Amino acid sequence: MDSFWTKKQLIGLSPMDGVTDAAFRYITDKYGKPDILFTEFVPVEGLARGATKLLQSFVHHATDTPTIAQIYGTDLNAYYQAAIVAAELGFDGIDINMGCPDRAVARKGAGAGLIKTPRLAQDIIRTVKRAVIDWSEGQSMEKVQVHDEITQTILKYRKTYQFHVTKKILPVSVKTRIGYDTVVTEDWMNYLLEAGPIAISVHGRTLAQMYTGRADWDEIGKAAALAHDSTIRLLGNGDISSLTEAKQKLKTYRLDGILIGRASFGNPWIFSDTVADYKTRLKTALEHAEIFAELLPDAHFVSLRKHMAWYCRGFDHAAEVREKLMHINTVDDVRRILREIV
C-alpha cells in the first residue's frame, strides 16, 4: 500500500479526547506543520445508533497534511460501518483507539480495555481492514446500512463543502499502551503485529498509571524491536517536551515516529522547533477562537476555554487573563479580553 505511513520517520500530533478538535488541528497544522494529525476518538456504537452530534469530531479543514480519523468501541459491525463513514468523509487513514485510560471506556471493554481481550482486538483490526478494502471496491454507506441520519448528514456536508472523495484503501493503524494493570508489552504487541495494522503507536504507560509517573520508553523500545522484522511502523508517545527530545527518542529506540501530546497545548510551534513570544501566542489564541467558531459553529465555547488558557503564560498578570478566559462564551469575549494586551 502506497501510504504516508511508509515515507519517512514521522513526528505527529497525538490524538487526545477533548483536545484535538478541528480548530486545534487547524492551528497546529498551520503553525507547527506536524507530519500527521489525528481526530478525537469517536465511539463506533454511537455512530451505529445515529448520533449525528458525534460527527462534529470528524470535521476537518482542507490540508495536505494526512489526517486520520480515530474510532473506538467493541462492536464489530459498528466498526465496519464507522470505517465506511470515515472513508466517505475523506480521511487519509483510520486509527483504532486501544489505549484510552478512561475507566468508563475500559469497563465496557473499549480503549485500553481491549488489552484484556486481545483476540477481540485482532478481530477489530481485521474488520476495519476489510471495510476499507470493501469501500475501495465500491461498498457504500447505504449498502452496509449506516444509520440514515448519519448518511444524510454526511451527504449534506459533502455537498455543502463540495469535496470529492477518491476511492482507495485507507491505511489502518492502532494507538495503544504497554498494558492494563501491569506491563505486558511483548504479549500484547505480538497479538497486534499478527493482525497487521500498518502502524502501531505506543504510549509508554499502563491504563492503571493513567498519565502519572513517567512514560517507560524502554518498553516502547521493546515494542519497536518486536516490530523490526515486520513492515509495521512503530511510533512512541509519552512525555515528549520538545522536538529535540523527539528526535533523540527516534534515534535511541529505533522508532519510525513520535507522537507529541500534552506539550502541544497552547504551543503548536513545538513541531517547528520555534519559541513564540507571548504576543504571538495571544494573537494565535484569538485566531484559534475565530477558526473554532468557523469550523465548529454548533460547538459550545466551554470546550475552548482551556485552549485559551494554555496560550496565556510568560507575561505580567497572565493568571488574571487566564481566569477571564475561563468564562468566555463568544469570539467577542476573547477579543475584549486580549485587546489591551496585543
| Helix, strand, or coil (residue 235) | strand
Q: Which of 23-32, 80-89, 104-113, 208-217 has the lowest mean pLDDT?
A: 208-217
- Considering only the C-alpha atoms of the chain, give the largest distance between any 2 of them, rounded to a whole number of Å: 59
Q: What mean pLDDT is predicted for residues 25-54? A: 98
Nearest to 195 by CA among 95, 132, 136, 119: 119
pLDDT of 1: 52
Q: Where are the beta strands (DSSP E) in the chain?
A: 10-13, 37-43, 67-72, 93-98, 172-179, 199-206, 233-237, 257-260
The whole-number average pLDDT for the span 128-144 is 97
65-69, 206-210, 255-259, 333-337: range with lowest mean pLDDT: 206-210
* pLDDT value at residue 314: 87
Average pLDDT over residues 159-186: 93
For 294-309, the pLDDT digits (tens) are 999 989 999 999 999 9
In one-letter notation, the amino acid at residue 40 is E
At residue 70, φ and ψ (nearest 5 deg) are -105, 135
Is 312 in contact with 277 (CB distance < 8 Å)?
Answer: no
Q: How many CB atoms lie within 10 A of CB 7?
A: 10
Question: How far, CA to CA in Å, does 330 sit from each of 20, 268, 334?
Answer: 20, 22, 7
Q: Give the three-class secondary structure for 8.
A: coil
Query: What average pLDDT does range 182-191 have in this prediction?
Result: 97
Give me the sign of the Cα torsion angle 275, 62, 85, 231: negative
Q: Each residue of 201-230: pLDDT tens digit?
A: 999 999 988 888 899 999 999 999 999 989
Q: How many CB atoms lie within 10 A of CB 104?
A: 9
Do residues 126 and 88 make contact, with C-beta atoms less than 8 angstroms apart? no
Q: How far apart are CA 260 and CA 31, in angstroms?
A: 15
In this structure, of 96-105, 131-140, 161-170, 262-271, the range with the lowest mean pLDDT score is 161-170
Side chain identity at residue 280, one-letter code: T
| Greater model confidence, 2 or 111 | 111
Mean model confidence pLDDT for the chain:
95
* 3-state DSSP assignment of residue 99: coil
* Alpha-carbon gap, residue 318 to 339, rounded angstroms: 14
In the structure grid, which three cell numbers stand for residue 78, read together?
A: 459498528
180-201 average pLDDT score: 97
Q: Are residues 262 and 241 in contact, defined by beta-carbon separation less than 8 angstroms?
A: no
- Residue 298's contacts (CB-CB under 8 Å, 6 or more residues apart) are 56
Cell of 200: 502501531
Q: How confident is the model over 277-297, as pLDDT tens digits?
A: 999 999 999 999 999 999 999
pLDDT at 164 over 90: no
Q: What is the average per-residue pLDDT within 69-85?
A: 98
Looking at residue 257, its pLDDT comes to 97
Closest by CA to 44, choosing from 35, 56, 54, is 54
- Upper half-sphere CA count for residue 317 (Cβ side, 13 Å): 8
